[in-house]
Amino acid sequence: MDIKIGQFNILSGILSVLIFTLLSCVLILYLSDYFMKNSQKFNSGNKLKLWTICRILVFLIIIITLSPIIIPIGIYKPSLWGIPYTLWTGIVVTVLIVLLTVIGAKVHPGITK
Amino acid sequence: MLTMLLTIGLVYIAILFFFAHRVRSTSKTTKQYLLGGADIGAVLGFFTIAATLFSTFSLLGMPDFFRIHGVGAWIFLMFSHCVMAFSILWFGFELRKKAREREWQGMSGFLAYNFRSRFAGIVGFIGVFVFLLPYIAIQIRGVAIFLHATFPEVIPMSAWATILVLVMVIYSEVGGLKAIMYSDVLQGILLLVAIWIIGYNCLHHFGGIRAMFEEVEKVNEALLSVPGPKGLFNFQFLLGSLIAILMMPYTQPQISTRLVILKDDKTLRKMAIGLGAFGIVIILPTVFMGMYGASLYPDASTSEFLHKTYISDQTEIIGSIVMLGIIAAAISTSDSQLFALGGELRSILTGADEKMVGYARIGILIFALSSLLLALLSSDELVLLARTSFAGTALLAPLIFTAIYYKRAYALRIIPIATLLSIIALIFSLLGIFPHDFMNIRMDLLLFLLLAVLAVLSVVIDTRKTEKG
């Protein structure tokens, strides 16, 4: 799907919201992990929920990344510190996946010992 | 330069053989020789999997890919790689759990056991043999053409390729998997150092990231977005690549074996995190190298670009370190893959263990010679050939996942047959006998989807049948 420059402002707005939401989710997950661990409420049921959330988030990020939101055809602006659009957003989503791997490793219900 | 490279190279080979001698096991059993004792810690596990994944493909292929096809290469490789690292937590854990039911010898043996069919094991072996051997070959070729381009007067390309294969065969035959893993640690460190020195120098040439992309914009602005100047990075290519790379830890035996022989699940967890982070650190400087090439050498051939960027534009000592990093990367990944093929062969053989390991060792030698022959005949498209290898082995994924997740896999004999037919269809498509795509869907993607649907339907039908029965 080709996206024209005029339409792109809306998309970049959506993108910002999505990335902000994702980052917030990551932060919430991480904090909840921290608090649950400290309050000794980190049982297997909670772990399973958090692990499911992690998997859903990864799935969502994949969909966003393979959509015109991250890979708009022929568009390389807005750039960030000169880095073309697809590259910097690509780096952001990649780092998000690594963060979710860190969280996933902590909340995976099967990995105990 | 040749003298310096020979000196550093000899030191490197001496260290390799020192490792091989130190960890060499007198017991040539499957567990000791082919599985490295099956008790691998987090650091060794992380380095060995990272070094197996990031090879000449990253050091030689990716900068050229960025140079020719642009920034979409990040999504193609790096994003897919990190999703793969996450998936290791998920499927890797399940694979390990299932593999514990019986002593692990290799993925082909695992398939044969779970499908209660030697044919399923043989299909697994054919899949990895057919698609892994060309991958080994292109790595050997990649380094050999690079060495030949740097020292055109010394020896022909075929002689460089032969020397590389000889070193890796002798070394891995002597030391077994444990020795290969120690060489992976060495290679991982060398690769990281080499790639960052060159990456930094390339960035330094422009004076900063902003200036670098401004320069590239002047040369060819299509490089700054997808699908890139040649239109490669379309949705289907990126989706197909994501699936192929995502499946690698389960469909490429050099990785699946390493996942299974990790000490415990906690080690798996640490390794998955490290792998994702390490990938970003390794691939980021290849962006700078690619943009450097796009700006300075846009029309050069692959070997010219690599030679200029890695050697001519660097000081002698850096050039030598980089060259050694490239050689180390090729040796490390290729011997892991050759060894994995040997392990796969062992896993479908039945008989006295030490005797079967002996056959596997002869197999490794034959595979090495075959890959040398292929290396002399294959083309120079490193990354695209590697991707074909990933996509080819990905066809085994529905078969493998059925074995992991479905207890009654043995009742689904149609899946190994369908997998074999798909492998044949993909080979025919690559040879141009069958079309490359069908109704605008790439053949590799289509075959993978068909197999996945068949596997899911088979499981659903069999479950219902069992419940009724």
CATH of the domain at B373: 1.20.1730.10
Cα B319 to Cα B303: distance, rounded to the nearest angstrom: 15
Residue in A93, A105, A113 closest to B89 by CB? A105
* Residue at B419 is within a domain: no
* pLDDT > 90 in chain B, percent: 30
Q: Residue B208: closest CA among chain A residues belongs to which residue?
A: A82
* Residue at B52 is within a domain: yes
Q: What is the pTM of this model?
A: 0.81
A102 Cβ under 8 Å from any chain B Cβ: yes
For residue B235, list chain A residues with Cβ-Cβ distance below 8 A.
Answer: 66, 71
> Are the Cβ atoms of B227 and A73 closer than 8 angstroms?
yes
* pLDDT > 70 in chain B, percent: 96
How many Cα atoms occupy the beta-carbon half-sphere of B408 within 13 Å?
13
> Are the Cβ atoms of B89 and A76 closer than 8 angstroms?
no
> Are the Cβ atoms of A62 and B83 closer than 8 angstroms?
yes
Cα A59 to Cα B32: distance, rounded to the nearest angstrom: 39
A73 Cβ under 8 Å from any chain B Cβ: yes
Residue in A82, A102, A112 closest to B210 by CB? A82
- DSSP per-residue letters across B16-48: HHHHHHHH--S---IIIIISGGG-B-HHHHHHH
Cα B322 to Cα B59: distance, rounded to the nearest angstrom: 9
pLDDT at B52: 80
pLDDT at A4: 38
For residue B233, list chain A residues with Cβ-Cβ distance below 8 A.
Answer: 71
How many other CB atoms are there within 10 angstroms of residue B13's CB atom?
16
For residue A81, list chain B residues with Cβ-Cβ distance below 8 A.
Answer: 209-210
Peptide bond into B253 cis (omega under 30): no
- Give the position of tokens 């150092």: B193
Question: Token pair of B446, please?
Answer: 């289509």
> Are the Cβ atoms of B238 and A66 closer than 8 angstroms?
yes
Number of helices and strands (H, E) in chain B?
A: 21, 2
For residue B434, what is the DSSP state? S
- Give the position of tokens 């640690």: B185
**Alpha-carbon separation of residue B81 from B74, B114, B270, B272, B373 (angstroms):** 10, 28, 16, 11, 30
Q: What ipTM goes with this model?
A: 0.82
Cα B175 to Cα B178: distance, rounded to the nearest angstrom: 7
- Give the position of tokens 């060819």: B220
Helices B107-114 and B253-260: angle between axes, nearest 10 degrees: 80
- Give the position of tokens 């190279």: B9
Question: Token pair of B377, please?
Answer: 């005949």
Q: How confident is the model at residue A6 (pLDDT cuts 50, 70, 90)?
A: very low
E strand or H helix that includes residue B170: helix B157-206
**Alpha-carbon separation of residue B423 from B389, B429, B444 (angstroms):** 11, 10, 9
Tell me the pLDDT of chain B averaged across its residues. 86
* Residue at B459 is within a domain: no
How large is the average pLDDT for residues B169-184?
Answer: 81
How large is the average pLDDT for residues B433-461?
Answer: 90
Cα B351 to Cα B208: distance, rounded to the nearest angstrom: 62
Summarize pLDDT for A24-81 with one digit per residue, the tens. 555 555 555 554 455 444 566 778 888 899 999 999 999 999 999 899 999 898 889 8
Residue in A55, A84, A102 closest to B225 by CB? A84
E strand or H helix that includes residue B57: none
Q: Of the candidates B133, B111, B132, which has an alpha carbon nearest to the alpha carbon of residue B121?
A: B111
* Residue at B171 is within a domain: yes
Evaluate the CA torsion angle B146, B152, B158, B162 in order and state its sign: negative
E strand or H helix that includes residue B219: helix B209-219
Distance (Å) from the alpha carbon of A81 to chain B's nearest alpha carbon? 6
Query: B412, B459 in Cβ contact below 8 A?
Result: yes
Q: Does residue B68 have a pLDDT over 90?
A: yes
Residue in A73, A82, A110 closest to B226 by CB? A73
Q: Does residue A1 have a pLDDT over 50?
A: no
Could you give the residue ranges of the DSSP H alpha helices within B264-378? 265-296, 302-307, 316-347, 353-377
Q: Does residue B451 have a pLDDT over 60?
A: yes
Task: Give A63's strand partners.
Answer: none
- Give the position of tokens 């050939």: B385
| Non-local CB neighbours of B28 within 8 Å, separated by 6+ positions | B176, B354, B357, B358, B361
Distance (Å) from the alpha carbon of A40 to chain B's nearest alpha carbon? 20
- Give the position of tokens 């699936």: B243
Q: Which of residues 233-252 of B touch A (CB under 8 A)?
A: 233, 235, 238-239, 242
> Are the Cβ atoms of B213 and A84 closer than 8 angstroms?
yes
How large is the average pLDDT for residues B389-403?
Answer: 89
Q: Does residue B434 have a pLDDT over 70?
A: yes
Specify the number of domains making up chain B.
Answer: 1
pLDDT at A36: 47
Could you give the residue ranges of the DSSP H alpha helices within B115-156? 118-150
Peptide bond into B134 cis (omega under 30): no
How many other CB atoms are there within 10 angstroms of residue B437's CB atom?
14
- Phi-psi map region of B196: left, alpha, beta (phi>0 left; psi -120 to 50 alpha): alpha
CB pairs under 8 A between A and B: 119
Higher per-residue confidence, B193 vs B220: B220
Query: B144, B161 in Cβ contact below 8 A?
Result: yes
Cα B338 to Cα B316: distance, rounded to the nearest angstrom: 33
* Residue at B235 is within a domain: yes
| Non-local CB neighbours of B116 within 8 Å, separated by 6+ positions | B410
| Non-local CB neighbours of B431 within 8 Å, separated by 6+ positions | none
Residue in A58, A93, A113 closest to B264 by CB? A113
**Alpha-carbon separation of residue B78 from A30, A96, B223, B369 (angstroms):** 24, 12, 17, 32
How many other CB atoms are there within 10 angstroms of residue A29's CB atom?
21
Summarize pLDDT for B10-58 with one digit per residue, the tens. 888 888 778 777 777 666 677 777 776 667 777 788 888 888 887 777 7
> Are the Cβ atoms of A97 and B83 closer than 8 angstroms?
yes
Which residues span the domain enclosing B178? 2-390
For residue A29, list chain B residues with Cβ-Cβ distance below 8 A.
Answer: none
Cα B169 to Cα B426: distance, rounded to the nearest angstrom: 30
* Residue at B343 is within a domain: yes
Q: How confident is the model at residue A109 (pLDDT cuts 50, 70, 90)?
A: confident
pLDDT at A8: 42
A84 Cβ under 8 Å from any chain B Cβ: yes
> Are the Cβ atoms of B266 and A111 closer than 8 angstroms?
yes
